[in-house]
Structures are given as C-alpha cells and as structure tokens.
Structure 1
C-alpha cells in the first residue's frame, strides 16, 4: 500500500485525500460545502480540489472569506479570493469583522473568535478548513506547552458532525503535498506576512522549533499527528467512563456519597465531562483538585464551589453543576389566565385540571393574581389544620439551598402566597375533588 502511494503523483495524493474525506463524512448529493477561504495555499488547494469533485459528489460548493482588517493587504486578499471563486464558478461570501486588539486572550484568539462567528452565518451543511498534518503537529505542540489535558492534546478532527459539520480533508497530508498540488495546477495564492512574525507563538513553533525537531527526528510530524489521534481515542474513552459513572451515581443530580466513593481522578473526569456538556470551558486541573478535596472534607451542609463559569453545588446528599451567569430576579407579572408566563430562563406553565392544583373559582374571585419573587414574611400552609410555615422552613424541608431561593416563582393571590415553585400549593387555595382547577408548573 505504501509503495503504491509513493508512486502516486503528490498532486493526485491531495485530491484522493479530499475525496476520501468526503466519503468518510458522508457528504450527500444536494448538501452544501463551504470552504473557509483565507486565500493561502492550503484553503486555495482545498477550494480547487472540491471544485473538481463537486460534479462527481453532487454537492454544492460555496466559499467564505473573513476580512479581519488587521493587514494593509486585507482588501487585496479579499479580492483575490473573490477572483478565485469567480474562476471556478463558486458562490462567494465575504465578511468584514472588527477584531479587539486589546482582547485579554490575545490578538490571535480574538481574530479566531471573530472569524468563526462570521463563518457560522453561512447557510451550509459542512464547513471545510484547509488544515494539514503539519498544522496538527503544531497544534499538539502548542497545546502541550500550555499544559493541555487529553482533550486539548487530541488536536483537530478530520470530521466533526454538527450543524453544520466540520471537515478537514487535508489533515492527513503534509504541507509539501498541498504545495505540490497547487504548483501542478498552476494555482496562485496569497501570503499573509503575519505568518512570519515570530512574536506569535504558533509562528515561533513553525519556524524555529519544528525544523529543529524534524532535523533530529525526521518522522516527527506524522508521529505527533498519530499521538493526537491516540489522545482523541483516550478522550472518547474518558467520556464513556464519565457516562457510566454518572449513571451509577444517580444521573443528572448526583448522589454525593456514591460520587465520593469513586477515585479523585474519576470524580474530576465526571465533573469535567459534565461542565463541557453544558457548553462551558472546563476549569484548570488545580481548581478541580481543590473542589474535590472540599467535597470530601466538607460536612453534609449546603456547599457551593465556584469553578469559573460554573459552580459545583451540594445539598442534602445531592450534587449538581450550575452556570455562574447571573440571572436577574424577574419582576412581578399580572396573570390574566395565560397558558404560560416567562420566568427567568424558563417559564411557568398553567394547565387546566379537575380536582387538583389551584381552585379555578378562587383565582377568578381574586382582585389581583401576580407571578413574582418571594417577599419578606412570606408563609404558606401546606395542609388543612397545619400551621403556616415560613418560606425559609418550606425551602429547608423541600431541600432547596439558600442560593436558589430567590429564583423560585410565587403565585400571589390578593397578597397571599397561593403556590410556590418546587414547594407546592397553599391549603386555602387548593382545588376540591371534582372542582375545576389550574396546575402551575415551573419549567427551567
């Protein structure tokens, strides 16, 4: 197999790789593939090879270029990309973005965020990028030097399903194959002068570190790419382990005792996996180490551990994660019998019923029905003949920790609490058997 590949012209190797990537991804006839076109040699080759394959594959090809405004040549690059697309009969989507030069994450990171936000606006089934094997090796080195874990060291994937999915058809090829294709087909491309600026970490790796590595270890780039693939397999296995551990510990709301029966490594893995499932960045390892230590030594009392963007909460034997984003307490809203009312990030739904929930007649007799937050002195009698209990006592009995109490919706009928989300209905407003009623439910 290797000998056959070696006899194949370098430019043909690139086209075979692109065709194979399309097949592996399952790109179907009628789907739209959008090339993220910078104008450099990699994306130019990708655009050209996809244009040659679109007739066979039956897919629609478009391209998008993001003008960052960071170079004096940015206008020329945009026009070069437009001309390349016109020559190939490819629909062209240009975007102009503003990049924060003072972004705390750095100029490269700010440009990347702006670029991906623009590309997300293109209507397509697949976004295709021109990353190749040398890029993969550099990415691994860059991330390892920043202390990346298994997920970060896994590098880039050739195929990422999604809406849209992401394709990197050249990821298995050396840059030399990509350049050979461009020369064989007489392609022209632009050179970004910032790629030579060694003040940027990736450029320093590319121009100073990687050549030294390859001199000492000629197979360094493919070896690093293979290592990335192995890290990715390990990451998949860690995700599967986290799913098993979550199920064994009670599901979404974890049983604290069962969770802490696991090793520290598995607890951290599960928390990290859960945080990523929330669409958030996993915290630094040191922060997770400290959180697990506190979980083990803290008594069985309400506990809320900030992890940066997310908090680990424990109360009454249960443990869960919640986003740190501040959600303002909603203002009181008059209820006129609507089927639902918004509440915070969710809503309160009112369902007609018979013999359960709030008495429809009591609600209709009321002068004012409000959905709002708790108030000082709020109390509620849960059953006939039982004493009225304070809001604090009701929350303690229901297992609602203090930091969640301000977010509970309360239905206030002529100044009295008739229903409190997660707690229940006041006895004096409860529907009698056979009587029309309304059941409020807080969906969040």
Structure 2
C-alpha cells in the first residue's frame, strides 16, 4: 500500500480535465456517476476528483468494486475501497465474482469479462473508469500488434454514450500526473502485484516496450493517444458511409445488384458495420474478402455464407444477415384479421386487394386461420387443374434453397395450406376477379 502525507492546493489541470469530460458527456444534475474502483491510484484519484466536483455538478456519486478472488490481497483491497468511500461519503457497491483460471481466452480476458458483467449490474447513469493517456497508448499498441483495424485502433473514447454511458475522464492525463495528484492530496491506494507480472502482454508492453519507445521518441505516448483519436474519427466516418450505402441499397434487406455496384471495400465496410449493429463481433478480413468474392462470382445464385457469428444470405435479388444458427424460431399465430403478424425478426403483412391473393370470403368462412411453419405431408395446388405438389417439390420448382425452407411462413386455413411464403396461394383459396382479396407479403 502506498501513501503520502504531503498536502497542496487543488490541481486545476486534473480537475479541469475531469470536468470537461463530464460537460462533454452532458452529465446532468440528479444523474448518478459510479466509479469502477479497483483501489489503485488511477481510480482512487478519479473518485477523489469527482467527489470534489459533485457539489458543483449536482450529480450523485457512487463506486463499485469487483472482488475477483484471484489475489491473496483481494479482501484487503475491498476493505481499502470501502474505507475510501466511507471517508468521502460515497455509496459503495461491492461485487464478488469467480474467475476461471483455465479459461481458454486466458485469465486476463476471463477477469475482464467477469468484471464488466458485474459492473453492468450497477444502478447508475454513468460508469467512470480511471484509464489515462499511458493506458491509451498501450491499448493502441496492443491492438495494432494483434492486427486490429480502424475501429480497434481507435482504442478508448473519453465518452461512450449508452445505458449506462461510460466515461474515461483521465484520458488526457499522463500516469505521472495522476500519481503526483495522489501524493499532493495525501491519498492512499493499493498496488496490485499482478501489474508487474510480465507474463501478461499488457504488463510486458508497459514495463519493457513503452520505456524503450519513449526513450527513442520522447513524445510517443501523447502522439499514440492522438493517433487513437484520429482512428476513432475515421471509424465514425466509415460508419456514416455505411449508413449512406445501406440506404442506397434498399435498407435492411439489401438489393443485391445495387450492393455489387459498390467497391469491394465499401461492401466489406457495410457488412462489417451491419454485423456490429447486431451486437456481434465482426469477422476477420479474410472471411469478408471471400464472401464478397463469392457474391460477385455468382451474382444470381442463392448463397449462404458463414461469417463467424453471422451468416450472409443472398436470395432472389436480396441480401441479409442473420445470426449463426438461424433466425429466431417463429411463433405460431392465429390470424384474426390483423394487418400484420410477427414472423421471426420480421413479419407477414396482409395487404387488402381486389381480384388477387387469397379470397377474403374464404378466410372469413374459416373456423381457424393460423400462421406457422411447414408440417409433414404439406402439399399445395398452385393453379386450377394443376397437380398437388409436395412442399419439397414446390420449393425445388421455386428455386428456394434448402437452408431457407424451414423458415418459410405458411398460412393454414382449417388445417389446409392456403399460402406459402415465396411459393404462392393454393388454387382453392385464390381470389376471383373483382372479388375482395388479401395478399400476404413476407417482410423479412
């Protein structure tokens, strides 16, 4: 444990930096800011500065500590954090988690995942972290060495809106400035012994690589931090481009022909952006390159291209993404005349028409009309005088790929298939000329 008794007047640079980030985030009076308090010098200083600013800002202040049970000193750290909060009159939220030491991703990643899961349970509007400029430079180096793209190289932002939002008010300060602040204010903090263990990549970068880099290039840390900010700007512009390309290509269900008019780079950027919008991890570049190659090589063919966490599906001039393992199982729904029934992540819209689609009179005479999936023995006659065909034969004739068939919506009228998505209306339910009708439209 480290401490000092020397006391000096407030540090306007550190407090000004934190206040500026709060203002940029729009932290409002009455909102709660919770510090992710490890007990180390960085989060301890952040807690101290926020405690000084809360009266002026009108926000409530809390702190959360995650006990990982990995160090023999973990109980002492929890106690030190509680003492700090009690001394400042700050609400304290302790969380105990179990971390798998044999996690395939490694103990660092396992501990981080457990920590973030615990912090997600904190009742607050903003989570504040003690990351500083040296952390930013190390993060950029670490991600670049792992082959990160523009988004990963953007490292950390000082404000990440969300529920709760994330703040990193110390990103503009060097580690030395933070330690100097702590000593000047007589703060007490803990030292995590694992921070010196160079078996961990981040520690190796911090203790071996960065000192050499700074010796050769004295301004390396702030320069790398600025580069991270520029990468974040570039990533934001790529997101804006993806939104424009999505709109130009038809929206959520992309028009394949329009998509393929874009350059390979823009197609990959759009797919990558859409995957992240689904809350999933984007695939490595090589997979996206191969996916675009296959789309161009067979512009008319139905394709199902695995991309890690998602699958890229192309069929009948449309292209969409769905989670690996398929779309959510559609619910069976009884139709009572609604304009739309849910189906997977989309729905089936029932459009009023005249002389086309399903006979409105036949639907109204029915005892039960149900939207559901196919069933064993399903068959349908597409036109008067034509033979009744099995579901498999209907799909083969319509060119519907096998991977799409289980998700086709089927409208069953008194136990008989009246309409199958992508196939059509059964002959016995066809609307006569001039008769009121209903046209089912599958909206994916």
Deviation at 1:241, TM superposition (A): 1.8
Report the CA distance shift for 1:10/1:53 in structure 2 as closer, same or farther (over 3 A). closer
Distance across 1 between alignment mates of 2:121 and 2:354: 48
8 A contact 2:128–2:166 mirrored in 1: yes
Distance across 1 between alignment mates of 2:343 and 2:262: 37
The match for 2:319 is 319
Report the CA distance shift for 1:442/1:358 in structure 2 as closer, same or farther (over 3 A). farther
Distance across 1 between alignment mates of 2:211 and 2:423: 66
Deviation at 1:109, TM superposition (A): 1.1
> Are 1:50 and 2:50 counterparts?
yes
User: Alpha-carbon deviations, 1:186-215, whole Å to 9, x = none?
Assistant: 111111111111010000000111011111
Distance across 2 between alignment mates of 1:183 and 1:12: 15
Distance across 2 between alignment mates of 1:438 and 1:33: 54
Q: What are the ranges of 5 or more consecutive residues in structure 2 without an aligned counterpart?
A: 1-7
Deviation at 1:145, TM superposition (A): 0.4
The match for 2:129 is 129
User: Alpha-carbon deviations, 1:379-406, whole Å to 9, x = none?
Assistant: 3345666664543565568775431210
Distance across 2 between alignment mates of 1:300 and 1:77: 62
User: Alpha-carbon deviations, 1:68-99, whole Å to 9, x = none?
Assistant: 11111111111111111111111111111122
Deviation at 1:327, TM superposition (A): 5.4
Report the CA distance shift for 1:255/1:337 in structure 2 as closer, same or farther (over 3 A). closer
User: Alpha-carbon deviations, 1:126-151, whole Å to 9, x = none?
Assistant: 11110000000000000000011110
The match for 2:233 is 233
Q: Where do 1:39-188 residues align within 5 Å?
A: 39-188=39-188
Deviation at 1:217, TM superposition (A): 0.9
User: Alpha-carbon deviations, 1:290-318, whole Å to 9, x = none?
Assistant: 21222222352111111111112222232
Q: TM-score, normalised by structure 1?
A: 0.86
Comparing 342-351 and 220-229, the one that deviates more:
342-351
Deviation at 1:46, TM superposition (A): 0.6
Comparing 368-377 and 149-158, the one that deviates more:
368-377
Distance across 2 between alignment mates of 1:270 and 1:391: 35
8 A contact 2:366–2:414 mirrored in 1: no
SS where residue 407 of structure 1 aligns? coil
Deviation at 1:277, TM superposition (A): 1.4
Distance across 2 between alignment mates of 1:307 and 1:179: 45
Comparing 195-204 and 394-403, the one that deviates more:
394-403
Q: What are the ranges of 5 or more consecutive residues in structure 1 without an aligned counterpart?
A: 1-7
SS where residue 282 of structure 1 aligns? coil
Alignment RMSD: 3.3
Q: Where do 1:188-337 residues align within 5 Å?
A: 188-298=188-298, 300-326=300-326, 335=334
Distance across 1 between alignment mates of 2:80 and 2:196: 20
Comparing 38-47 and 350-359, the one that deviates more:
350-359
Q: Where do 1:410-421 residues align within 5 Å?
A: 410-421=410-421
Q: Where do 1:393-404 residues align within 5 Å?
A: 395=395, 400-404=400-404
Distance across 2 between alignment mates of 1:177 and 1:342: 57
Distance across 1 between alignment mates of 2:206 and 2:258: 47
Deviation at 1:26, TM superposition (A): 1.0
8 A contact 2:359–2:435 mirrored in 1: no
User: Alpha-carbon deviations, 1:360-383, whole Å to 9, x = none?
Assistant: 8767764x7665421344233456
The match for 1:3 is none
- Figure out how many residues of one structure are paired with residues of the other and give that number: 435
User: Alpha-carbon deviations, 1:35-70, whole Å to 9, x = none?
Assistant: 111111111111110011000000111111111111
Distance across 2 between alignment mates of 1:165 and 1:328: 29
Report the CA distance shift for 1:437/1:228 in structure 2 as closer, same or farther (over 3 A). same
SS where residue 188 of structure 1 aligns? coil
8 A contact 2:333–2:341 mirrored in 1: no
Q: TM-score, normalised by structure 2?
A: 0.86
User: Alpha-carbon deviations, 1:381-432, whole Å to 9, x = none?
Assistant: 4566666454356556877543121022334344421343565654535689
Distance across 2 between alignment mates of 1:202 and 1:51: 30
8 A contact 2:336–2:369 mirrored in 1: no
SS where residue 53 of structure 2 aligns? helix
